[in-house]
């Protein structure tokens, strides 16, 4: 359950970033940082926004599966967990390098790439530890249910 909470919080953080940037881009909100602070320019915003929406859709789907402990994204695999955790670490390291190379310019995108890396790492931990624990949990649930 704690993994589902962390994944959901990371999804909500990313949603806040996407929403903040959209408010600045479409409504000209002035109490948030200007567009150049949100946007590094690597992808044009008309391309970036649908990509961010797709990421949020995938995150929300994963979150629901993990909350329910059922569905495709709730399946656990030590190998998939290991791959996700390694990728997340590499992803976060690349953002550290980006931070150093750019002198800290475009901090909002960098920080939220770290949020996404944290999401992948958390999901990877969930997958990696799950195969060994899941049968024991199921057996425990059966034993508790049998005593009633």
pLDDT tens for 45-65 read 999 999 999 999 999 999 999
User: Which of helix, strand or coil describes residue 113?
Assistant: helix
What is the spatial distance between Cα 63 and Cα 69, in angstroms, rounded to a whole number?
A: 10
* Cα dist from 80 to 65, 74, 99, 131, 145, whole Å: 16, 12, 28, 11, 32
DSSP 103: T
Q: Residue 33 is encoded by which pair of tokens?
A: 């940082």
How does residue 132 score in pLDDT terms, banded at 50, 70 and 90?
A: low
pLDDT of residue 131: 54
Statement: residue 21 has pLDDT above 70: yes
Picking from 27-41, 88-102, 124-138, which range would have the lowest pLDDT averaged per residue? 124-138
Query: In this structure, what token pair is assigned to residue 31?
Result: 């109490």
Mean pLDDT of the chain: 88
The pTM for the full model equals: 0.85
Q: What pLDDT is attached to residue 1? A: 62
Which of the pair, 147 or 87, is modelled with greater confidence? 87
Phi, psi of 39 (to 5 degrees): -130, 115
Helix axes 78-102, 107-146, angle to 10 degrees: 160
pLDDT at 4: 95
Which pLDDT band holds residue 139 (cuts at 50, 70, 90)? very low
pLDDT tens digits, one per residue of 60-106: 999 999 999 999 998 889 999 999 999 999 999 999 999 999 998 88
In this prediction, residue 40 has a pLDDT band, given cuts at 50, 70 and 90, of confident
């Amino acid at each position: 359950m704690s993994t589902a909470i962390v994944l959901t919080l990371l999804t909500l953080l990313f949603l806040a970033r996407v929403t903040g940037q959209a408010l600045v881009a479409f409504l000209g909100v002035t109490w948030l940082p200007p567009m150049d602070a949100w946007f590094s320019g690597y992808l044009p915003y008309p391309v970036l926004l649908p990509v961010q929406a797709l990421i949020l859709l995938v995150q929300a789907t994963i979150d629901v599966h993990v909350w329910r402990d059922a569905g495709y994204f709730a399946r656990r695999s030590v190998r998939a967990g290991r791959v996700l955790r390694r990728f997340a670490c590499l992803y976060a390291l690349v953002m550290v390098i980006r931070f150093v190379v750019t002198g800290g310019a475009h901090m909002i995108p960098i920080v939220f790439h770290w949020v996404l890396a944290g999401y992948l790492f958390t999901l990877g931990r969930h997958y990696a530890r799950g195969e060994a624990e899941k049968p024991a949990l199921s057996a425990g649930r059966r034993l508790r249910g049998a005593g009633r």
